[in-house]
Amino acid sequence: MKLYIGNKNYSSWSLRPWLLMTEAGIDFEEVRLRLDWDQDSAFKRTLLELAPTGRVPLLVDGDFAVWDTLAIVEYLAEKFPQASIWPRPQRERARARSLCAEMHSGFGALRERFPMNIEASLPEVGAQIMREDPQVAGDVARIESMWNQQLQQSGGPFLFGGFSAVDAFYAPVCARLRTFSVSIASAPSGYVDRIFALPGMQAWCNAARAEQDFIPEDEPYRQPPR
C-alpha cells in the first residue's frame, strides 16, 4: 500500500493515518507531496490522477484508492483486524468512533486559530488567542474534558487503554497544544506527553523539523526566513 501525505510540519490530516499505520505495524510506502493547492500544481495533478478529491491523505492499495481519514481508518480496520485499530468492546468501539467523528467534523475555531506547525513555538500567540477567542477556549475545554473522562474510565495510558485510531485522530491536537503552549490539566497533559513519546510520533516530528520548507499559506503567525 501507498500512503500519500503532505508536509509533515503542517499536514495534520496526513499525520492521523501515518501514525496509526506506523504504530500498528502496518507496512506501507510513504509518498510525500509538497502542499500546494493551485489546481495546476504537481501536488494536485498527482492526486487527481488517483482520486477525485485531490487531497491528502490518500491510501492506495493496488489499484484501489481510499480517501478521507475516517474511510482510511475503517478500511484498515477491516483489512487488518488483528491490529486493534478500534477498541474491542462494542460500546468502547462506538464511543471511540464518536470521538473521532467529533474531531473530524468539529473544533473549527481551534483548527483555524491553532494550525499544526510542529517546528514552530508560539506561546505568546497561544496566550493571546486563549484570552481573546472564547470559541477556541471552548474547543480546548471540551478536548480537555473529553481526554480527562476517557483516561479516568480506561486507566490509560491512552484514551481507551492501548493506542488506537482515536489517539491518532487527536495526535495533531497534541501538536497544536504544544506549539501554542496551551496549558491544560495534569492528566490530559500527561496524555500529550505519552503521544509525543510514541516512536512513530517522534519520527514524524523529527522529519517535520528536517523539512525546512516554509509555506506562507500555512504560516499565519510567522514571516518567511531571510
DSSP for 111-162 reads HHHS---TT---HHHHHHHHHH-HHHHHHHHHHHHHHHHHHHHH-SSBTTBS
98 has pLDDT over 90: yes
User: What confidence tens digit (pLDDT) does each residue in 104-130 have?
Assistant: 999 999 999 999 999 999 999 999 999
- Grouping H, G, I as helix, E, B as strand and the rest as coil, residue 3 is strand
- Please name the amino acid found at residue 173: V
Dump pLDDT digits (tens) for 169-223.
Answer: 999 999 999 999 999 999 999 999 999 999 999 999 999 999 999 999 999 999 9
Considering the entire predicted model, what is its pTM?
A: 0.97
Mean pLDDT of the chain: 97
The three cell numbers of residue 73 are 481508518
